[in-house]
Amino acid sequence: MYVYRPHDKQLLNERVAQFRDQTRRFLDGQLSNDEFLPLRLQNGLYIQRYAPMLRVSVPYGMLSSTQLRMLGRIAREWDKGYAHVSTRQNIQYNWPDLEDVPDILAALAEVEMHAIQTSGNCIRNVTTDEFAGINAAEIEDPRPWCEIIRQWATFNPEFAYLPRKFKIAVNAVPDADPALIGVHDIGVQIVHRGGETGFQVLAGGGLGRTPMVGEVIGDFVPWPHLLSYLEAILRVYNKYGNRDNKYKARIKILVKALGAEKFRALTEAEFAELKDGPMTLTAEEVDVMRGHFSEPAYDPSLTNRPAALEQALASNKAFNRWFHTNVTAHRQPGYAAVTLTLKKTGRAPGDLTDEEFDAVADLADQFSFAEARTTHQQNIVLGDVRQDQLFPLWEKLDALGFATPNLKLLTDMIACPGGDFCSLANAKSIPIAEAIQRHFDDMDYLHDLGPIDVNISGCMNACGHHHIGHIGILGVDKKGREYYQITLGGRGDKVSKIGEKLGPSFDADQVVPVIARLVDLYVEQRKPGELFIDTYERLGIEPFKERAYATDH
């Protein structure tokens, strides 16, 4: 993973000093609320329902065990003993005091972490596949490119006051979209053409109240020009994005309004000026960056499916089930990636306690080269586990309650903090997630159902990705009461697709019965091997609609 050099550290220290001073001036009344707002936002600090919320950046999801321990310590010392993994691979704290934030940032800086540009109208944390660097299907490791983008974006002076937030994701897997690039402001698809690395660049995707899938703007941008091309897009957006109405300010609205053709022409004009200029990357620079992501010291003598693993699979049913659900193939023979689903019943999806941070750090040290990853599904991955160590690891995870074999299954939900924490919420999302977990608690049944993405957002801002859930649940407010609108057929797995509304929204206590009916219909109608989403795409929404509202007639 990227290890800081002295100048990276220096920059963070200067940032901490800057924010400490800004906070002091705000508390002294020298900075107005309006003036402090974008400053604190660019440091990940929202003022929420009960307290500020602090969002800590986890660049492309990579964490060292030292960083995990610090995240746990912060939860213990400055929060209420827990933190939240977000859909953008970041970590959020719900209860810090504003006065403490400079100290929290100083603590983070000790372990090469920060909250820079985790909110506000600027370029946010760059995200990618949680299996980056270990996914056998990827054509190259996307993380060096992510880091190149991160450095370009960090405190970029021209793009600190954009019309609206700006999210970039990078994907290196052909035929699948684990990084959800289709629904990012810019999606970067790494492609190899004629022996050359380049990028297909999408722009204008995004969720929120007007969900859209991005359009291809640059079909093949040769690798030396990555930053020049991104800069060209950002400059077009900075100049022409809507600034009068924040609901129309995202780049997706601009791309839509101009049309992809016109947007591309404007981008190409800016690009023509930047191309071959000082932003052009050299092979040597990219190699140095790749060097920061060299692979860990794998044991080359290991092979897949060692005897110890086979034996455990044959003798322990629970382990076997977990292996087939939560363990992902690795490009290095003899290794595997393990996902810890953070979806304990009765706990907000994605939450970890301080002790759990420490426990995961210990496991990372012991089993996975002292590294872990966060995922947009609000889970944690130990990426480099020896296959012959999977059983002992599973035993420890089981003891910690992190071995629930439900990765990608119906109870591996995404949910935003919703009305329990967020002041923008129309409705709560955590209790809905919990009700679903309580109802669907039969592991055999869940496994029989197979992969189903259930995504829950407490309002149309869509932090819980409801638009791209196979089943999406959206909190809506009707005359002060909380209702839930259900969408079907969204996906963010292979392609990005925005879900379709089922019909009128439901009372909170109707959500679980409705989902149960939708799932029943799938079970009745599925062909052998067909997933929920496949059956839905084959049948269309009508039969689901009929079934969902059947008892209401």
Partner 1 sequence: MPQIIKDGAIVEDRWQWLDAEALAAQQALPEGAVIVPLAYWQAHRDSLKARGDVAVCLEPGEEPVALADDLADLPMVAIHFPAFKDGRGYSYARELRTRYGFKGEIRALGDVLRDQLFYLQRVGFNAFVIRADRDIHDALNGLKDFSVTYQGDVHDPRPIYRRH
Binding site for ligand HEM (CB under 6 A): 46, 48, 53, 86-88, 92, 164-165, 183, 206-209, 250, 416-417, 421-422, 424, 461-463, 465
Could you say whether residue 464 binds ligand SF4 (CB under 6 A)? yes
With H, G, I as helix, E, B as strand and everything else as coil, classify residue 166. strand
User: Nearer to ligand HEM by C-beta: 244 or 284?
Assistant: 244
Question: Whole-angstrom Cα distance, residue 551 to residue 158?
Answer: 56
> Of residues 144-163, which lie at the interface with partner 1 (CB under 8 A)?
151-152, 154-163
Closest CA to 264 of 239, 225, 238, 229: 229
Using CB under 6 A, count the residues that bind ligand SF4: 13
Could you say whether residue 350 binds ligand SF4 (CB under 6 A)? no
Could you say whether residue 10 binds partner 1 (CB under 8 A)? yes
Choose the one of partner 1, ligand HEM, ligand SF4, none that binds residue 298, judging by a C-beta under 5 to 8 angstroms depending on kind: none
Contacts for 129 with CB less than 8 Å, ≥ 6 apart: 135, 138, 142, 171, 172, 173, 178, 179
Element (DSSP H or E) covering residue 188:
strand 186-193
Could you say whether residue 24 binds partner 1 (CB under 8 A)? no
H runs (alpha helix) in 111-222 = 143-153
> Of residues 381-420, which lie at the interface with ligand SF4 (CB under 6 A)?
416-418
User: Nearer to ligand SF4 by C-beta: 12 or 416?
Assistant: 416
Distances (CA, A) of 273 to 213, 228, 543: 28, 9, 54
Could you say whether residue 208 binds ligand SF4 (CB under 6 A)? no
> Of residues 278-307, which lie at the interface with partner 1 (CB under 8 A)?
278-279, 285, 288
Tokens 């919420």 locate to: 425
Q: How does 426-436 read in b/e, with b if 16+ C-beta sit within 10 Å?
A: bbbbbbbbbbb
Query: Which DSSP string corresponds to 472-505?
Result: EEEEEEETTEEEEEEEES-B-SSS-B--EE-SS-
- Minimum CB separation from ligand SF4 for residue 424, in Å? 4
C-alpha of 399 from chain center: 27
- Minimum CB separation from ligand SF4 for residue 457, in Å? 4
Choose the one of ligand SF4, partner 1, ligand HEM, none that binds residue 288, judging by a C-beta under 5 to 8 angstroms depending on kind: partner 1
- Minimum CB separation from partner 1 for residue 277, in Å? 7
Phi and psi at 487, nearest 5°, equal -120, 155
User: Could you tell me the two tokens for 153?
Assistant: 């974006």
- Minimum CB separation from ligand SF4 for residue 366, in Å? 35
With H, G, I as helix, E, B as strand and everything else as coil, classify residue 46. strand
> Of residues 163-182, which lie at the interface with partner 1 (CB under 8 A)?
163
> Interface residues with partner 1 (CB under 8 A)?
7-8, 10-11, 14-15, 18, 22, 30-31, 35, 38-39, 121, 151-152, 154-163, 235, 238-239, 243, 273, 277-279, 285, 288
> Interface residues with ligand SF4 (CB under 6 A)?
416-418, 422, 424-425, 457-459, 461-464
